[in-house]
Amino acid sequence: MDDLPITMNEKDLKVLRWATQHLEHPSLAMRLSSVIGTPIEIGIQLLPRTVYKKANSLAHTAITKALKTAVSTLRHDVRPNPHNLFYRTLAAGTGAAGGLFGIYGLPLELGVSTTVMLRSIAEIARSQGEHIHEPETQMACLEVFALGGETESDDAADTGYYGIRLALAWPVTHAAHYVARHGLAAEGGPVLTTLISAISARFGVAVSQKMVAMAIPLVGAAGAATINLLFMLHFQEMARGHFVVRRLERKYGKELVQATYEQISGKRRG
């Protein structure tokens, strides 16, 4: 670490190290495995192809519905700290209610919990100095759902945090322009649809992990509440890491922050 850029102060380096650790090593699968007592990866490998496609479809629907309701309802006031505990409690309650119906209740429960998560993500963004009513920030909130989920088409360059942001750069930019012109209330829009599809392909990985956990016969309402709580914790951590990096980029410039991030993570640009 001795060769890290000296122009970034130690406090910011510390928080960047935290962000790097969480963004490069998401722990959702490990957390869910601790609840169900079986490695999630084994269950994922046993999932039929049709179920995996269903997870992607559920992810796409959930993000589409959440986008118009979660971010747009935030008020203009700025609070110093996001209400993380409040949203975790909501997530646990939603999970417990959905858990009464097992995996069959997932389509409805996922729509509600994704909206709650996006609202929480937006508050985290705002706490890091983002202007939540700006379309570019709203699209950055959506990006959080893409973090930590690999797709079959990924190569090594796409799986890291900056690789994912690079892969989403075109649809994020164009979707932000579309929202600036038409607003979130506008129906359709091929550019916005393209972004949601790209994000839901990765979010679907997390959803499939949740499906595996929910499919355990004895999980029940209490277990479902815990699963949903872990789901919320995971994306709150991803959101904090993402918006910490963006805040530091505004302070130091993207080149310096990315170079420092890649030195910390061991991923260097070729």
- pLDDT tens digits for 177-229? 888 887 765 555 688 888 988 998 888 888 887 777 766 655 555 567 777 78
Residue 111 CA: distances (Å) to CA of 13, 67, 192 = 37, 11, 18
Evaluate whether residue 134 is within a structural domain: yes
What pLDDT sits at residue 47? 60
Task: Tell me the residue type at 161.
Answer: Y
Average pLDDT, the chain: 77
pLDDT of 64 above 70: yes
Name the residue among 231, 270, 263, 269 with its Cα closest to residue 16.
263
What pLDDT digit, counting tens, does each position of 119-144 carry?
889 889 999 999 888 889 989 999 99
Please tell me the distance from the alpha carbon of residue 267 to that of residue 262, in angstroms, as a whole number: 5
pLDDT of 171 above 60: yes
Evaluate whether residue 259 is within a structural domain: yes
- In the chain, the number of structural domains is 1
Please give the average per-residue pLDDT across 40-57, as a whole number. Answer: 67
Backbone angles phi, psi at 142, to 5 degrees: -65, -35
| Entry pTM | 0.82
Evaluate whether residue 126 is within a structural domain: yes
Q: Is 149 exposed, middle or buried (0-12, 13-18, 19+ CB in 10 A)?
A: buried
Tell me which of 1-5, 37-41, 118-122 is least confident: 1-5
Evaluate whether residue 90 is within a structural domain: yes
Please give the average per-residue pLDDT across 84-98, as a whole number. Answer: 64
Evaluate whether residue 7 is within a structural domain: no
Query: Which range of residues forms the domain containing residue 245?
Result: 48-265
Evaluate whether residue 40 is within a structural domain: no
pLDDT of 57 above 90: no
Evaluate whether residue 138 is within a structural domain: yes
Evaluate whether residue 56 is within a structural domain: yes
Sequence-distant (≥ 6) Cβ neighbours of residue 161 within 8 angstroms: 20, 23, 24, 147, 241, 242, 245, 261, 265
Q: Which of 45-49, 105-109, 125-129 has the highest mean pLDDT?
A: 125-129
What DSSP element (H or E) covers 39? Answer: none
